[in-house]
């Protein structure tokens, strides 16, 4: 067990028990911080887009990394909520007709189907802004201890860079521009390093930023995050062609339908599966370099979850 600013991380719990405990806290914070009273029904659309669904992998990575380095878990909870808001906003926008034109997400109609395109666009915009509000609480309004300004700035920078042109948004732009084109493995890796990997890596580093690490441990955690970020996308590409929409909670086979390059189309199904396993091994090797001892157990198990998941 790791002690952090008066808060205890139950690192000795089985991963599923630990995750269930953390997700209760994350969901409660989302319920508290995502407004229901935003004007003209905007709050309902925001809450529809982020509450009661999803694997919450990014928040779990934040909290596991924070626990591994003895971080401030109140700060880490804010970071976990912020990264989930960015992820949720990206899904709302990605599902819209001008992007992927998807009608199913997390087992229910997408936000633009439920609320219309204009409100879906605004809900995504508002969730993106709210993420940074959560990271920069006002001293007189915050019910939890206010984070030091330096930590607020560091977390904000990590999240903004992962979400912007060099990360998620840039990767999505490449993805849209690649429809109908052939990409080699290097170009595909670069696209997904940005589109999917950057936010997953940032989740690990935001958790680590809530505590103290050596420069070597920080780089090792960055390498771990990069490896599982790419592994997540490789597995996503595999599941898109091997699982049903009912199992995935979203439309299956949509990448093939839209003629998008994926790890399956570039490498083949079996090679893609081997690549996911190799990325897991890279992630675990990076954790060993981080030299965090037993505190890294949860991060190791999350890497396993990323590669072994079925939806």
Domain residue extents for the chain: 11-308
Neighbouring residues of 28: CB distance < 8 A, sequence distance ≥ 6: none
Q: Are 262 and 196 in contact (CB under 8 A)?
A: no
Q: How many CA atoms lie within 13 A of 4 on its CB side?
A: 28
Question: What's CA 281's distance to the chain center, in Å?
Answer: 20
Cα(first)–Cα(last) distance of the chain, in Å? 30
Q: Which residue positions in the chain have pLDDT lower than 70?
A: 1-13, 140-145, 246-258
What is the DSSP code string of 114-167? HH-HHHHHHHHHHHHHHHHHHHS--TTT-SSPPPPHHHHHHHHHHHHHHHSTTT
Q: What is the pLDDT of residue 113?
A: 96
| Cα 289–Cα 271–Cα 267 angle in degrees, nearest 5 | 110
What is the DSSP code string of 237-270? HHHHHHS-HHHHTS-TTHHHHTT---HHHHH-HH
Q: Which single residue is written with the structure tokens 């909670």?
A: 249
Compute the distance between CA of residue 239 and CA of residue 74 in angstroms, rounded to an integer: 35
What is the CB neighbour count within 10 angstroms for residue 105?
25
Q: Are 124 and 93 in contact (CB under 8 A)?
A: yes
Q: What token pair was written down for 138?
A: 């006002």
| Cα 279–Cα 281–Cα 284 angle in degrees, nearest 5 | 110
Q: Are 127 and 50 in contact (CB under 8 A)?
A: yes
Compute the distance between CA of residue 212 and CA of residue 102 in angstroms, rounded to an integer: 41
Q: What is the pLDDT of residue 6?
A: 34
Q: Which CATH architecture does the domain made up of 11-308 adopt?
A: Orthogonal Bundle (1.10)
pTM: 0.92
Compute the distance between CA of residue 298 and CA of residue 277 in angstroms, rounded to an integer: 18
Q: For 72, which DSSP code?
A: -
């Amino acid at each position: 067990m790791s002690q952090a600013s008066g808060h205890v991380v139950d690192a000795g719990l089985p991963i599923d028990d630990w995750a269930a405990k953390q997700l209760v806290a994350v969901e409660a914070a989302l319920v508290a911080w995502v407004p229901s009273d935003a004007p003209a029904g905007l709050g309902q659309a925001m809450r529809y887009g982020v509450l009661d669904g999803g694997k919450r992998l990014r928040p779990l990575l934040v909290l596991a990394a924070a626990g591994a380095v003895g971080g401030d878990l109140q700060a880490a909870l804010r970071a976990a909520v912020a990264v989930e808001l960015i992820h949720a906003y990206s899904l709302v926008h990605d599902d819209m007709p001008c992007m992927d034109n998807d009608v199913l997400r997390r087992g229910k109609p997408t936000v633009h189907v439920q609320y219309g395109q204009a409100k879906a666009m605004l809900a995504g915009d508002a969730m993106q802004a709210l993420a940074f509000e959560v990271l920069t609480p006002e001293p007189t309004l915050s019910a939890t201890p206010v984070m030091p300004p330096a930590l607020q700035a560091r977390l904000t920078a990590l999240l903004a860079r992962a979400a912007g042109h060099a990360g998620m948004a840039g990767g999505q732009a490449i993805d849209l521009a690649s429809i109908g084109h052939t990409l080699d493995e290097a170009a595909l890796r670069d696209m997904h390093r940005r589109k999917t990997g950057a936010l997953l890596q940032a989740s690990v580093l935001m958790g680590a930023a809530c505590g103290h690490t050596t420069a070597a441990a920080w780089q090792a955690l960055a390498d771990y995050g990069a490896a599982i970020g790419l592994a997540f996308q490789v597995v996503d590409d595999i599941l898109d062609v091997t699982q049903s929409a009912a199992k995935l909670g979203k439309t299956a086979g949509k990448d093939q339908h839209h003629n998008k390059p994926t790890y399956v189309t570039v490498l083949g199904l079996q090679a893609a599966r081997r690549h996911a396993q190799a990325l897991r091994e890279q992630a675990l090797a990076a954790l060993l370099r981080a030299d965090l001892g037993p505190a890294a157990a949860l991060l190791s198990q999350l890497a396993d979850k990323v590669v072994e998941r079925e939806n």
